[in-house]
Structure 1
Amino acid sequence: MTKILIPFDFSEQANYALDFSVAIAKKFNNVHLEVVHVMEIPTSTTVGTMGGGEMLPDMENQIFFIELMNKRKSQIDELKEKHLSESYTFSAKIKLGNAFKNISESINEENPDLVVMGSKGTSGMEEVLVGSNTEKIVRTASCPVVTIKSAQDPDNINKIVFASDFREDNDEVAARMKRLQDLLDAQLYFVIVNTPGNFETSRDSIKRIRSFAHKYGFNDVTAEIYNSDSEESGIIEFAEDVNADLIAMATHGRTGFLHLITGSIAEDVVNHSQRPVWTFKTK
């Protein structure tokens, strides 16, 4: 069975992610869709008067939360009913607490083959300080993640840009990329982005791409070198120039202080690209 997990907050972007997952499920046999909706518990705003000094949610927040919970339960039941008689299996649940924590726990518990997430992206101070839940999932998920910002039909994904420096052999990344190509029956573009601070000759870059493609038995692959001011911009610009339908990348998955210092090209692309982005965390 192929399992797809869809974090779902009832937003427009979340519905894009669900529709994309449903379209994949209808293309193949034995697919299970798992929808997870996380409800944030209301923040505490009223000081308790029982001597302990604890913070308690005020009555207005409690009433709003109960009403919202009942509404979400009803919407989840409607989702289950809607997908009841399809060729794929479908389940949905509500979890309480922090969104990132609960989605991460769901990934570990369900062990999906793929996570499909909707995202609006972030900008400005929010991006600098915390980023989005989507970026955090991309950084930590143990399986590939597809990030979607607009309506997408998997049948229309015919060109995939796989951006890498191809300096390290990675059997698992190569296997995942081959599976993605087979799944979507798409043409692959392998691209290295040359930047002023990390320049090398096209001959060396092309040689490395061809060596990677040959080692892992890729077919229908175009090797390209693209010059840009930064890796992130170059990947997005190249995808635009070849009219790609999806961008694929591996991410190092660093967290904490090291992540703050080095950042992640993959997460930046996820944040700023309007095209769907497939990412996989390397070990």
Structure 2
Amino acid sequence: MKTILVPIDFSEQSKYALNFAAQLAKKGNLQVHAINIIEGPQNHTFNTMGDGFANESEDYFFLKQLIDKTKENMNALLQSKAYSGIDVIGSVEVGNPYQSISKAIADHEADLVVMGSKGASGIDEVLIGSNTEKVVRFAKCPVVTIKSEVNLTGIKNIVLATNLEEDQTKLIQKLKEMQKITGAKLHLVKINTPNSFHTQRQMEEEFAKYIKEHGLGNIQTAIYNESSEEDGILFYAEDVKADLIAIGTHGRTGLLHLLSGSIAEDLVNHSQIPVWTLSRKG
């Protein structure tokens, strides 16, 4: 892992994300790219230390003022003592938030995205969605979503929820990097639901095969019975006092996504601890 991308909107949640990324950067000698996206029809990039704005027409006067003010805020944030000694770069862009983040992941060859999330519930969750959810669903690299201040040294237990059936080679490879940085114990859990039930003996054999195939260490396995996978993951995470939940997401779109939903995106909305995700399309 070399580069971490952090979308910044100056909310408390995005600052929590930047703080967590800074801790990772210090631990692994990584570079952090902080990006702010101003929603607009065009897409320009502005390094926080330069101008980069060529169009001086009257139509762009207000936008330029907004960009200048945002650059000032970004500079002030990144010059905080909390980020001294870290290779951190800030930029301001105009465009669609999700598209701009996706482009930044590719341009900077980001190995990890750390995003602040307020979560959603009820009708907001159904109708509105969020840029965070879109990034979680489609990002080409792992995404960590954060809702509160997180201390890297406090991550001692990571829950990995899996059905043990899909090819998760890339997911495991990436998650092992996070486990190495934190030194955390990995809790591999399969949620038994009424519609997808497996016996203890079946699962023990599958767990052994999975662990051997992926070369996992410092690990504990569990089968957890619950009415839904999401509740099972959340309740199990509470039981083992997990500090982070890891799960793959399918990256479904359209009708299939509306019908089947996404456990990963539900967890991003409802979990109070950080959620680490990687799309199968990643």
With the length of structure 2 as denominator, give the TM-score of the two structures.
0.88
> Counterpart in 2 of 1:142?
140
Which residue identity is paired with 1:72?
Answer: T
For residue 64 of structure 1, report the CA deviation from its aligned partner: 6.8
> Counterpart in 1 of 2:228?
230
The answer on whether the counterparts of 1:3 and 1:33 sit within 8 Å (CA) in structure 2 is yes
For residue 21 of structure 1, report the CA deviation from its aligned partner: 0.6
The answer on whether the counterparts of 1:210 and 1:223 sit within 8 Å (CA) in structure 2 is no
For residue 216 of structure 1, report the CA deviation from its aligned partner: 1.5
Deviations 1:46-93 (A, max 9, x none): xxxxxxxxxxxxx9x988755543321211222343379843311111
Separation in 2, partners of 1:223, 1:84: 38
The answer on whether the counterparts of 2:28 and 2:181 sit within 8 Å (CA) in structure 1 is no
Q: What secondary structure, in the 3-state scheme, does the structure 1 residue paired with 2:31 have?
A: strand
Is the alpha carbon distance of 1:71 and 1:261 closer, same or farther for their aligned partners in structure 2, counting shifts above 3 Å? same
> Counterpart in 2 of 1:38?
37
> Counterpart in 1 of 2:188?
190
Separation in 2, partners of 1:111, 1:182: 21
Which residue identity is paired with 1:11?
Answer: S
Separation in 2, partners of 1:35, 1:147: 15
Q: What secondary structure, in the 3-state scheme, does the structure 1 residue paired with 2:79 have?
A: helix
TM-align CA RMSD: 2.2
Q: For structure 2, list consecutive stretches of 5 or more residues without a partner in the other structure.
A: 42-57
Q: What secondary structure, in the 3-state scheme, does the structure 2 residue paired with 1:111 have?
A: coil
> Counterpart in 2 of 1:56?
none
> Counterpart in 1 of 2:163?
165
For residue 105 of structure 1, report the CA deviation from its aligned partner: 1.5
The answer on whether the counterparts of 2:67 and 2:92 sit within 8 Å (CA) in structure 1 is no
The one of 198, 203, 213 equivalent to 1:205 is: 203
Q: What secondary structure, in the 3-state scheme, does the structure 1 residue paired with 2:132 have?
A: helix
The answer on whether the counterparts of 1:194 and 1:226 sit within 8 Å (CA) in structure 2 is yes
The reply to whether residue 15 of structure 1 matches residue 27 of structure 2 is no
Which residue identity is paired with 1:22?
Answer: A
> Counterpart in 1 of 2:47?
none
Q: What secondary structure, in the 3-state scheme, does the structure 2 residue paired with 1:226 have?
A: strand
Number of corresponding residues: 265
Counterpart mapping for 1:33-112 below 5 A? 33-41=32-40, 67-82=65-80, 86-112=84-110
> Counterpart in 1 of 2:44?
none
Which residue identity is paired with 1:38?
Answer: I
Separation in 2, partners of 1:206, 1:64: 62
For residue 204 of structure 1, report the CA deviation from its aligned partner: 1.1
Is the alpha carbon distance of 1:64 and 1:227 closer, same or farther for their aligned partners in structure 2, counting shifts above 3 Å? farther
Is the alpha carbon distance of 1:78 and 1:227 closer, same or farther for their aligned partners in structure 2, counting shifts above 3 Å? same
Larger Rg: 1
Q: For structure 1, list consecutive stretches of 5 or more residues without a partner in the other structure.
A: 43-58
Is the alpha carbon distance of 1:64 and 1:124 closer, same or farther for their aligned partners in structure 2, counting shifts above 3 Å? farther
Identity %: 45
